[in-house]
Amino acid sequence: MLHLTRRATLAGLAAFAATPTCAAPKVLRDVAYGGHALQRYDVYLPESTPKGPMVVFMHGGGWQYGDKGNDAVWEAKAAHWTGRGLGFVSVNTRLLPEADPLQQATDLARGISHIQANAASWGLDTKRMALMGHSAGAHLVALLGADPGLARQWGAHPWAATVPLDTEVYDAETTMRRRPSRIHRAAFGESRAFWERASPRARLQTGTAPFLLVCSTKRRGPLPAARAFARQVKARGGRAEVLEVALSHSAINSTLGMPGPYTDRVDQFLASTGVG
């Protein structure tokens, strides 16, 4: 487990502010992958991209709010990874109440397919792609990572790694049976059949890309859920690592990309899968 004190976090923030990788990358904003106003993504590119790898990121927000352009979503991550020669893509999807989590996963799948179709023109390598998301976005990337067929239906090709950041919804039925929050009730409703369709654990296939399951030790739900999901992945012959981080739910998102052991550990995992 990574133990990160508030002092260490502030030190990382200061180092991030001082590092030259904070130079603004080239940005392609609001690239459309569908007809809805929210079916858009932003692309952050390094100065030189000779078939460079990339990270595709889905923001959080309880499946009902959030945006690809929020500073905590992209700023530290894009600066860090573009400084290392990676592309960073931040995706929006439709949200509740207009689109339920499965429809949001469909949007994300469409976005991935569109990104992959255009990545070569940006100098990026679709085979060296990691799919990452935070909170509700972590659930969506875990769902697509567990059942790549959901993305394949929209023409997406396999990716190299899946990194959910701090979600407890690996098994939606378990989440909904244990005094679900108002946010979870709004997202998953009362249908057990829907819970199963929207559950990474229920949809898990063999032959998935490796998972790094990041979870906060400051919350009760994510750690046991991540451990249970990792065991299931391994039982099917896959690779899943659980990274326990002593940061808050929001800090797991906002500090990723800042100098320090947390970012280093994520980078090590990505490098081990060919992304990095």
Instruction: Say whether pLDDT at 7 is over 70.
Output: no
Query: What confidence category does residue 48 fall into, taking pLDDT thresholds of 50, 70 and 90?
Result: confident
Give dist(CA 268, CA 84) in Å, integer.
13
Question: Once rounded to an integer, what is the mean pLDDT over residues 240-253?
Answer: 97
Please write down the long-range contacts of 25-30, taking CB distance under 8 Å and 24 or more positions apart: 25/78, 25/79, 25/82, 25/88, 28/122
Average pLDDT over residues 50-76: 96
**Displacement of CA 234 from its chain's centroid (Å):** 20
On whether the pTM is more than 0.85, the answer is: yes
Q: Write the Ramachandran bin of 88: left for phi over 0, alpha for psi from -120 to 50, otherwise beta.
A: beta
pLDDT surpassing 70 at residue 140:
yes
Question: What's the CATH code, domain 6-272?
Answer: 3.40.50.1820
Pairing of strands 52-58, 124-134: parallel
The pLDDT-based confidence of 19 (bands split at 50, 70, 90) is: very low
Torsion sign across C-alpha atoms 249, 100, 133, 22? negative
DSSP secondary structure, 199-241, as one string:
-HHHH--SSPPPEEEEEETTSSSHHHHHHHHHHHHHHTT--EE
User: Which of 109, 96, 88 has its CA nearest to residue 203?
Assistant: 109
Q: Tell me the pLDDT band of 97, cut-offs 50, 70 and 90.
A: very high
* Choice between 151 and 12, residue whose per-residue pLDDT is larger: 151
- Residue 51 has a pLDDT of 86
Residue 50 clears pLDDT 80, i.e. is over it = no
Q: How confident is the model at residue 131 (pLDDT cuts 50, 70, 90)?
A: very high
Length of the chain counted residue by residue:
276
The mean pLDDT value of the chain amounts to 93
| Amino acid 211: pLDDT | 98
Of 8-22, 56-70, 167-181, 262-276, the range with the lowest mean pLDDT is: 8-22
Residue 15 predicted with pLDDT over 70: no
Instruction: Say yes or no to pLDDT of 21 above 60.
Output: no
